[in-house]
Amino acid sequence: MPARISLITPSFQQAAYLEECLASVRDQSFPVLEHIVVDGGSTDGSKAIIERNAEGLAWWCSAPDEGQSHAINKGLEHATGDVFGWINSDDALLPGALERVAQAFDEDAQLTVLTGVRMLREEGKPDRAMALDDSGKAESLYIEPMINQQATFYRMSAVRDVGGLEEKLHCVMDLELWWQVLFRSGSAGVRIVPWPLAVFRSHPASKTATLQSLFLDETASVLHGLCMRTGSEDLASVLALGHTIVPGLRAIPADPAQRDLVRKMTVHFLLKWHHTIFSERDFLMMRALRLPSIALPQLAVEQQQRVAGLDEQLKAGSWLSFRLRRKWKHLVR
């Protein structure tokens, strides 16, 4: 008997895509699938769509909840599978995906996380494969993971050990779960496979398109906790200058021996998203990063270039001077 897969679909106001999502799961024809749908009380006809498909579901509900993470945790309360994944109501599985996932977990007792290819779907464009992690670079799985959530599956015992998803997070709960599992179990149990497993749909109403600021604040919040736990209070203070830190997040079990790794994770985040200054908070945060007291880890060539560009911007000395300098550059172009 293949591994039993518990697949949870959190849903809210996505009637336009929900039917396709449910059909993509039903058409897997996988014999030991437990599909659970948790709708947040949609008023757009989603409930009627779920009712029409209820025969193929292990459990479903349509009632107000506290967001996507809470919805998935509600589904986990009813899940009994060996393998866990979730597929959002505006995304879809690709044919044969679950059979390949189950076989991988069956054949490898050490497998904790399996992540494959997700196809990006945008209106008017052909589907295209999104970037995949490099399994040969273990450190990068911590520092810059792709988090192909729709194509990522966990051994259920690892998810139970973590306690499900962090309900205080609404955008990066998938990243936080990834880090929770890796800091507990290491990267040896991660398998990166070149199999197209799922579709990620990008559309104007998706969270990815509308909530970038919250994505960044939540990522900074998780990193803030890791910095505090591993003795990098200096970088935690830098993050707090530029981001609204979510209070009360659960701890990720990193220890002081992983301090250098956490510093690389944090500096990577800061240089990726803030090497160009747009706001006063950016200015204050990145100026603090460049204080002599902040020891940066060894930087890749691209990061060195970003630091050089950042230092050029910070020559202004103050936010007012920065704004005047930027305005002057625009005027003399």
Choose among 149, 157, 198, 147: nearest CA to 4: 157
Residues of the chain with pLDDT under 50: none
Same structural domain, 228 and 160 = no
Q: Cα separation of 317 and 333, whole Å?
A: 23
Encoded amino acid at 218, one letter: E
The tokens describing 98, both together, are 């679950």
CA separation, residue 103 to residues 1, 22, 30, 112 (Å): 10, 22, 11, 13
Same structural domain, 195 and 236 = no
Same structural domain, 167 and 38 = yes
pLDDT at 282: 96
Q: State the DSSP H helix or E strand holding residue 49, giving kind and residue range, or none if neither.
A: helix 46-52
Q: Which of 158, 189, 205 is the last residue of a domain?
A: 205
Same structural domain, 244 and 188 = no
Total domains present in the chain: 2
pLDDT at 1: 72
Same structural domain, 53 and 174 = yes
- The CA-based diameter of the chain, rounded to the nearest angstrom, is 71
- Residue pair 136/192 in contact by the 8 Å Cβ criterion: no
User: Which CATH number covers residue 182?
Assistant: 3.90.550.10
pLDDT at 332: 60
The parent domain of residue 106 ranges over: 5-205
Q: Which residues contact 108 (CB under 8 A, 6 or more apart)?
A: 191
Same structural domain, 196 and 308 = no
Q: Cα separation of 284 and 234, whole Å?
A: 14
Q: Which of 205, 226, 256 is the last residue of a domain?
A: 205
* Residue indicated by tokens 């518990």: 6
Determine how β-strand 59-62 pairs with β-strand 113-122. Answer: unpaired
Torsion angle (degrees, nearest 10) of CA 98, 80, 73, 29: 30
Q: Cα separation of 101 and 2, whole Å?
A: 10
Same structural domain, 197 and 231 = no
Side-chain-side CA neighbours of 103 within 13 Å: the count stands at 8
Same structural domain, 37 and 137 = yes
Q: Cα separation of 137 and 320, whole Å?
A: 42
Q: Is this model's pTM higher than 0.75 or not?
A: yes
Q: Which residues contact 111 (CB under 8 A, 6 or more apart)?
A: 104, 105, 155, 189, 191
pLDDT at 327: 78
Q: Cα separation of 246 and 172, whole Å?
A: 12
Neighbours of 249 (CB within 10 A): 16
* Burial class of residue 98, CB neighbours in 10 A (0-12, 13-18, 19+): buried
Q: Angle at which helices 259-274 and 280-289 pack, to 10 degrees?
A: 140
Tell me the pLDDT tens digit for each residue of 180-189.
999 999 999 9
Q: Cα separation of 312 and 21, whole Å?
A: 48
Encoded amino acid at 75, one letter: G
The tokens describing 190, both together, are 């991660």
Same structural domain, 186 and 245 = no
pLDDT at 333: 60
Same structural domain, 137 and 165 = yes
Same structural domain, 44 and 179 = yes
Q: Which of 182, 205, 228 is the last residue of a domain?
A: 205
Same structural domain, 146 and 262 = no
Residue-level length of the chain: 333
Beta-bridge partners for 200: 120
- Residue pair 130/194 in contact by the 8 Å Cβ criterion: no
